[in-house]
Amino acid sequence: MTDRPIPPRRPMTLRDVSEASGVSEMTVSRVLRNRGDVSPATREKVLAAAAELGYVPNKIAGALASSRVNLVSVIIPSLSNMVFPDVLSGITEVLDETHLQPVVGVTNYRPEREEKVIYEMLSWRPSGVIIAGIEHNEACRRMLRAADVPVVEIMDVDGEPVDSVVGISQRRAGRMMAEAILKQGFERIGFLGTRMPLDHRARKRFEGFTEALARHGLEVADQEFYEGGSALKKGREMTQTLMQRTDDLDFLYYSNDMIGAGGLLWCLEQGIDIPGKLGLAGFNGTELLEGLAMKLATMDAGRRETGREAAKIIAARADGSLTEPRRIEIEPKISYGDTLRRYKP
């Protein structure tokens, strides 16, 4: 076996594409930037030559003049949570029809991590920012306000946005679920969820939920919280703990569908009459619920629609067709499934 040195790679340039296509470098630049008046035949010839050479334009260099790159920073707290892929799908659906591309940063629900991600993302001068939540520390808010790019906060409209905002009212969602539960005759309600200091949206739903109960002279009879680990497994464990500790509960409200699914599986194994003796509901409207023996009641927060509307705002601000911030409130929808409805409407 012979070990021969590999010749150094040479980056492709506009000149290479110019020579391969037989047109000037200026024309190649116009075609690749989709600018200027170029005939369809010439455009096709240039694009074919660039594809054959594997040439990729240097967008960073092009951004030096405009101070912007054609990237949209999408900042979310988690990739393992089933909620956020739906949001990203909605964003991608819209941006695929534009020159913009999403790039994702993950904060892990940590304010100091969010601060770092925002700093790094903005240092690339993106064309816009889509960020989950409306609650940020002051350092994050200062950076977002000073960035001079459109910012869309998503999934929560309960607060003062930096710029545009798209999502549901989390407090309203909690109130709606409480009213639906009470309307079905349930009164001894247990709550199961994540620890909420860092999950502001779950906290706001819980606040709305307990406010609605209080208006009817009721309060949460017992509650159980968790952090980390498999949500399905935690849902089973939490449900068992809560039901053994407070055995006269007639309803369990979970802060998300995953722990709710785990709780439902445990209840079915115990032979509990659902919803006759015990009702259950989750939150998020995830597709996982379609595969369960019983369909867990839940609430669809319009995640994909939220992603689409946020991306539309960024695209419209980028092309100049929208100049003012927007506030779009998505309507949450309750799905009663098999675990909430005692009485027919």
Q: Is residue 2 part of a domain?
A: no
Asked if residue 292 and residue 175 are part of one domain, the reply reads: yes
164-167, strands of its sheet edge to edge? 101-106, 71-76, 128-132, 151-154, 164-167, 327-329
Asked if residue 86 and residue 138 are part of one domain, the reply reads: yes
Asked if residue 120 and residue 97 are part of one domain, the reply reads: yes
Name the 3-class secondary structure at 71: strand
- Using CA atoms, how far residue 150 sits from 61, 131, 323, in Å, is 22, 11, 9
Asked if residue 183 and residue 154 are part of one domain, the reply reads: no
Q: How far is CA 246 from the centre of its chain?
A: 35
Name the 3-class secondary structure at 282: coil
Asked if residue 130 and residue 276 are part of one domain, the reply reads: no
Q: Is residue 341 part of a domain?
A: no
Asked if residue 111 and residue 160 are part of one domain, the reply reads: yes
Asked if residue 153 and residue 40 are part of one domain, the reply reads: no
Expressed as residue numbers, the domain containing 44 is 14-57
Asked if residue 249 and residue 134 are part of one domain, the reply reads: no
Q: Where residue 118 sits, what CATH number does that domain have?
A: 3.40.50.2300
Cβ 310 vs Cβ 133: under 8 Å? no
Q: Where residue 38 sits, what CATH number does that domain have?
A: 1.10.260.40
Please give the tally of structural domains in the chain.
3
pLDDT in single tens digits along all 345 residues of the chain: 445 454 555 677 889 999 999 999 999 988 887 777 889 999 999 999 988 887 877 666 665 556 678 899 999 998 877 788 899 999 999 999 999 999 999 998 899 999 999 988 888 889 999 999 999 998 899 999 888 889 999 999 999 999 999 999 999 999 999 999 999 999 999 999 987 666 788 899 999 999 999 999 999 999 999 877 668 899 999 999 999 999 999 999 999 999 999 999 999 999 999 999 999 999 998 877 787 889 999 999 999 999 999 999 999 999 999 999 999 999 999 999 999 987 655
Asked if residue 218 and residue 196 are part of one domain, the reply reads: yes
The residue type at 47: L
Asked if residue 189 and residue 88 are part of one domain, the reply reads: no
Cβ 212 vs Cβ 174: under 8 Å? yes
Asked if residue 176 and residue 272 are part of one domain, the reply reads: yes
Q: Is residue 4 part of a domain?
A: no
